[in-house]
Amino acid sequence: MSLLGLDVGTSGVKALLIDESGKTLASATSEYPLSTPHPNWAEQDPADWWKGTIEVIRSILAAPGVRAGDIKGIGLSGQMHSLVLLDKQQRVLRPSILWCDTRTDKECREITEQVGRERLRSLVSNPALEGFTLPKIIWVRNHEPEVYAKIRTILLPKDYIRYLLTGEFAMEVSDAAGTLMFDVARRAWSKDLLGILNVPPEWLPPVFESVDVCGHVTRAIAELTGLREGTPVVGGGADNPCGAVGTGVVKQGRVLASIGTSGVVFAFSDQVRVEPGMRVHTFCHSVPGAWYLMGVVLMAGGALRWYRDTFAQDEMTLARTSGRDVYDILTEGASAVAPGSEGLFFLPYLVGERTPHQSASARGAFIGATIRHTKRHFTRAVLEGITFGMKDSLSIMEGLGVEIQQIRLTGGGAKSAFWRRLQANVYGREVALVNASEGPAFGAALLAGAGTKVYSSLVDAVENAVKVTETIAPDREEAKRYAELFGIYQELYPALSSSFTRIHTLKQ
């Protein structure tokens, strides 16, 4: 018996086949391009997603010992927010406008003006932000009316793949919650919001829970891919909830801190909690009847990479000649510096910031430099600044009454022993590593298992397949020191925000 997870990501599609214990049986990845035809635009051709999906499924089924008839179910994950538009013949009308596309600043203001910020909070629990799906729809209406007139169906990436696999239109709650058209509290489309903005509700597919079976592999697709006809396909989940499922963040008290290019703080919640300023997102979890809060640092690991590429040429040369990892060399130097980098702070706002400032004009900065500071101080300040940015989200969540017992780490921030200890001390909480490292595709496979009754529930699936492999408790004295430093860090953006705005408006 096996379970297949498919993750339609931004850089490629990944397939992961696991057994019921969570052991990986086979995996495959197929990459595809991203198009940036204009500044601030990011688009992809959904045909590339489908081509990649066929490739990875065939690759999985060609692996030694794998039989299509043993696959009990398929779970889907994918990039959130990205817009897919179909006409009445179910043909794609234009390239998908992706989650990272920021052309919709004007449309976000339009939505906020028409609906009202507080009404948005009450109807959909979130503000109008460029990444969400609804502003992209309004942009098409404003700039491509001939395309808008032909729309009959609106989907998200993984749900377009579902349609091609099964012939069924469906979406599940965790992805729907990120469209800005979904009543997160009631887990249903917000007809009130759609009415205010004159977006036809019939364009939107039925919504299910993430573990619900939403279709079955058709005969034509079985012949095309080698899958067994009739294989169940469950709702699945957006990439962040699936990543959380794959690390066991399916119970109260568990939080995920993922540091990749961006940084994500994901906290389980057994009830709807909406921060008054909507500085963190409130979305539906893939766990039935549960929600989550999410904060995003736009440049987390990306800020460290920028620092490496810009200032660490000597370390990169040493890495090439010695065979060592350049990040190990950098963190080794940082470890020789005391917590707080002798008063040197780094703001990681290199591309603006999402949480907590929601500001496109925010800028990165080193603050507090003196003649005593060396490259080692600057390296440690970058690592501390990124981690402080993550703690911004945690502090907001704690203020909403979210219970935080353990923070599970993934991504590049989990690979370094030094950075793991640093996170424990900055967060002031126990941090943990788990055995699962396959990302959203693993969570999607577990959802397939829960939906096809391989497991009694999704929580049972996680407890069966996800195990903690390491825990790190915070050092009491360093945690106290970082709590003081975090207070200073939080003062820096307000002090500089007006200057950042003026800098942002300068002609480049």
User: Where in the sequence numbering do the catalytic residues fall?
Assistant: 239
- Residue 232's beta-bridge partner residues? 216
For the sheet with 431-434, list strands across it. Answer: 281-284, 291-297, 263-269, 253-259, 404-411, 431-434, 468-472
Collapse the DSSP code of 216 into the 3-class scheme (helix H, G, I; strand E, B; otherwise coil) and give the result.
strand
Q: How far apart are CA 413 and CA 417, in angstroms?
A: 9
Residue-by-residue DSSP string for 270-330: SS----TT--SEEEE-SSTT-EEEEEEESSSHHHHHHHHHHH-HHHHHHHHHH---HHHHH
**CA torsion sign, 277 to 358 to 396 to 10?**
positive
Pairing of strands 253-259, 404-411: parallel
Collapse the DSSP code of 24 into the 3-class scheme (helix H, G, I; strand E, B; otherwise coil) and give the result.
strand
505's CB contacts (< 8 A; 6+ apart) are 361
Q: How far apart are CA 206 and CA 189, in angstroms?
A: 9
